[in-house]
Amino acid sequence: MSIIGKIDSLWRYPVKSMRGEELDEAFAGYSGIYGDRLFAFRSSANHKGFPYLTAREQRKLLQYRPRFRFPDKAARPVNLTEAESKNANPLSADLEELVVDVETPAGRTVAIDDPALVEMLRADIDQKHQLTLMQSQRAMTDCRPVSIFSLQSAQQLAEETSTPVDKRRFRANVYVDLTSAKGFAENEFVGRSVRIGSKVVITVLERDARCVVITLDPDTGEQASAILKKVAQAHEGMAGVYGAVLVEGMLRKGDAVELLETI
């Protein structure tokens, strides 16, 4: 095995398509990052296979800032010691303890289930979108449980487009700083596994197909179409990778990332 980099930052997104929160540490389980994408809004206008309201329909979603009301309950499994030392199934807090409050772009704070929040989200979009709150104890991700993106890929896209590229556009769970100077080096990990820190093992399954969300500034929602165009033309429409957790455990900022030998 060889060390190929380290964790630059860890992120989760309590409400799908809303602003993420940076963490010093996070539990990586089979179902994803603990506390990630536990809430989403279902839209009656979207198809059953992907029913969520996202920033594709409502750019302002990115400016809503969700926070867990009881952050200690949302930080890690309630039986973390047993889960890590005895390989017990990690247990989530009760759903009523995983409540989220949302700070709106105007600075108002409302509960995730406040009807006023739905009315705000429906503003400026086609009113055919009838919204219903969804809650789950497992991450409602688009594809695989964990997403990984390198700082070097963001830097390469910035150079290719002559546009500042904020890594947060890519809404990854794990941002890595690789020893390789080239961007998109994470593509080479597909089909292999990485160990992060002392325990967690993630197998990298596929590259991450991108959509219009990466064109949206994570703070303002302003669009930079050149980024998606370059990803489509130069990188087959993909940026970053998806993985599945093989060995569960805690991830921490600064943890080493090791590429494991193939068998």
pLDDT band (50, 70, 90) for residue 263: low
- pLDDT score recorded for residue 47: 87
Could you give the CA distance from residue 64 to residue 75 in angstroms, rounded to a whole number?
A: 20
Cα separation of 25 and 87, whole Å? 19
- Structure tokens, 84: 């890590």
- Domain that residue 169 falls in: 2-259
End-to-end distance of the chain based on CA atoms, in angstroms? 11
Please state, in angstroms and rounded to a whole number, the distance separating the CA atoms of residues 251 and 28.
7
Mean pLDDT, residues 209-218 taken together: 96
Task: Decide if 185 contacts 24 (C-beta within 8 A).
Answer: no
Number of domains in the chain: 1
Residue 67 · residue 101 · CB < 8 Å: yes
pLDDT in tens, 68-100: 999 999 999 999 999 888 889 999 999 999 999
- Section 148-152 average pLDDT: 98
Confidence of residue 1 (pLDDT cuts 50, 70, 90): low
Identify the pLDDT of residue 48: 85
* Tokens found for residue 245: 């957790």
Residue pair 8/151 in contact by the 8 Å Cβ criterion: yes
Reduced 3-state DSSP string for 106-137: CCCEEECCCHHHHHHHHCCCCCCCCEEEEECC
Which residue is listed with tokens 């596994």?
193
* pLDDT tens profile 156-175: 999 999 999 999 999 999 99
Nearest Cα to Cα of residue 206 among 163, 242, 154: 242
Q: Where are the alpha helices (DSSP H) in 75-195?
A: 80-85, 115-122, 151-161
State the CATH number of the domain containing residue 222. Answer: 2.40.33.20
- 3-state class (DSSP) for residue 204: strand
pTM of the model: 0.95
Alpha-carbon distance of 144 to 203, in angstroms, equals: 11
